[in-house]
Amino acid sequence: MVKNLLLLALTRNAILQHRFKQADSLLQLAKAVGIKKYDALATAFDVNFELGKIIAAEGNLNSIKAGNDYGYQFRQSRMMHYKGDLDSSINAMQQAVLLANTDSNLMQVALANVADLYIHTGKLNKAYEAYTQCIKINATDLRSIMGMGWIALMYDNNDSLAEKYFSLHLPKQNLRTLYLNLYK
C-alpha cells in the first residue's frame, strides 16, 4: 500500500518537473504494484498527453469520463485546447472551477487556466477578471500577477503598470523570464 502511493507520488513529482519519460517508467511500476484504477488512468492521461501520445491520452480520458469530476473536467479542458476547441476548453475548465467547491488551491489553479484560455481567445477583460479572482483567493499568486502584467504589457501597452506587476514577482523568484519581461 505504501509502496504504490510512494510510486504514484514520485510519478506526479516527475510530471511537475517535466521529466515525462521518467514519469512513464514510474507509473508502470506503480501499476505493477497496484494502484487505484482512476489514479492509473488519470496519471496515464497526464503522462501520455505530455509525451505526445494523444490517442492513448484520449483513451485514458474516455475511461475516466465523469461530468462531475474535477480531474476529468481539467483534463478534458486540456484535450479540447489541444484540439483547438477553445470554447469547449473554457467550458470544461469553468466546470472544474465549480467542482473545486471549497478547495481553494484547486479553484485557483482552474481559474488561472481559465484566464490563460481567455487570453488565447482575445477576451482580455475576462482573463483579467479571472486573474483578479485568483489573487482574491491567494494574494501571492505569482502566476496571476504575471498574467496581469502580460496583459498590461502586450495588450494595453502600459509599460509602467507591467513593470509594477513584474516587480512584485522579482523578489519571489529569480527567473530569466521575469527579467526578459521587464526588458520588453
pLDDT of residue 67: 87
Buried b (16+ CB within 10 A) or exposed e, 113-123: bbbbbbbeeeb
d(CA 77, CA 113): 9
pLDDT per 10-residue tile (average), the chain, 184 residues: 84 94 96 94 98 98 95 98 97 97 94 96 94 91 84 72 64 54 54
Per-residue 3-state assignment (H helix, E strand, C coil) for 94-107: HHHHHHCCCCHHHH
pTM listed for this prediction: 0.84
Q: Where do the structural domains in the chain lie, given as residue ranges?
A: 1-65, 67-138, 140-184
Which of 76, 131, 83, 82 is CA-nearest to residue 109?
131
pLDDT of residue 4: 80
Secondary structure class of 54 (helix, strand, coil): helix
pLDDT of residue 175: 56
Q: Which residues contact 59 (CB under 8 A, 6 or more apart)?
A: none
Assigned CATH for 67-138: 1.25.40.10
